[in-house]
Structure 1
């Protein structure tokens, strides 16, 4: 294989990721993957004996991508925050703004939204291994959020509450194609939680 050229397995995973994102699990067929990846059906089946195995490989790939992207977003948000820290102007509002930016980065990815839709909407078709991968997927976001709170010495006792409010305000509307809670309202809600932690 030529250096730098994606493997057929990689091409199949990329094609399947696009199809799962657009059509969901049920709406994606192996025949569609064959056409989109421009490979033969035996090639697909020799690498992925079932559609579920293919989906789990796609999910593993999306976990890796999400980990890289969210770590980059965390670094970027910390860079912004550092400038405010140096000016002595980073307060709870700045910390909350970075928290919201991390959630928006997570929720604005069509592929990540597809993971939620597939796992939550078609969970009855998934194996225990798929559910375990979904837990790893969500752990990517959780690690970044905890790192953000830790960096600014925000107590994490109410992490679950902060996460639940943010999920309901930002992720759920994205999944349901609804309007998200206005940012100023969300900021006030999160500020109340953080201030309560600090008491």
Structure 2
């Protein structure tokens, strides 16, 4: 392999990532991946024996990138002293949902989980764990119980994530703050 050139495997993953996150899992075929990547079908199958294995490689890459991005946001929040809880909380959620690929992961897993193997569902837990870890780290800077995380997440998911998944307007930050205010004094 030439220096500086991505491997064929990485190129296939990149091509498949674009297709999966634009079209979904079911609507993406290996033939489309072959055409987009500009490689042969045997090349794809020698690296990824099934479409699900390819999806898991895409998913693993997205999880890793998400970990770095969320840590960078946390680092930024931590450097700004006197950051209030709500501002940081919303920033973490906005960052998480700001990448359309992450929203697509929810749609794929919610709509097509019956086609996924247990390993993919475990990866989804790891995926959501990236957000959970960032939220819990942020919560740790304030005098709130970690048990409060469950309630805060439930309200925020209902206000922000669910509407995004349903292509509806999310609750405004002002309304979300009003909903969370009783919890923030716990």
CA offsets 1:136-183 (integer angstroms, 9 cap, x no match): 000000000000011233322211000111111111111111100111
CA offsets 1:7-33 (integer angstroms, 9 cap, x no match): 111111111111011100111000110
- 1:105 is aligned to 2:123: no
User: How many aligned positions are there?
Assistant: 186
1:126 pairs with one of 112, 116, 119: 116
Unaligned segments of structure 2, at least 5 residues: none
Q: What is the DSSP-based 3-state SS (H/G/I as helix, E as strand, rest coil) of the residue aligned with 2:129? A: helix
What TM-score results when the alignment is normalised by the length of structure 1?
Answer: 0.90
- 1:146 is aligned to 2:139: no
- Moved beyond 6 Å, runs of 4+: none
2:173 pairs with one of 178, 183, 190: 183
- Larger RCO, structure (CA 8 Å, separation 6 or more): 1
Residue 2 of structure 1: CA displacement? 2.5
Distance (whole Å) between structure 1 residues aligned to residue 108 and residue 37 of structure 2: 21
Pairing of 1:165-180 with structure 2 (within 5 A)? 165-180=155-170
Unaligned segments of structure 1, at least 5 residues: none
For the 8 Å contact 1:15–1:33, the answer to whether it is kept is yes
Residue 4 of structure 1: CA displacement? 2.8
Aligned to 1:14: 14
CA-based RMSD: 1.1
- 1:61 is aligned to 2:61: yes
- 1:117 is aligned to 2:107: yes
Residue 135 of structure 1: CA displacement? 0.4
What TM-score results when the alignment is normalised by the length of structure 2?
Answer: 0.96
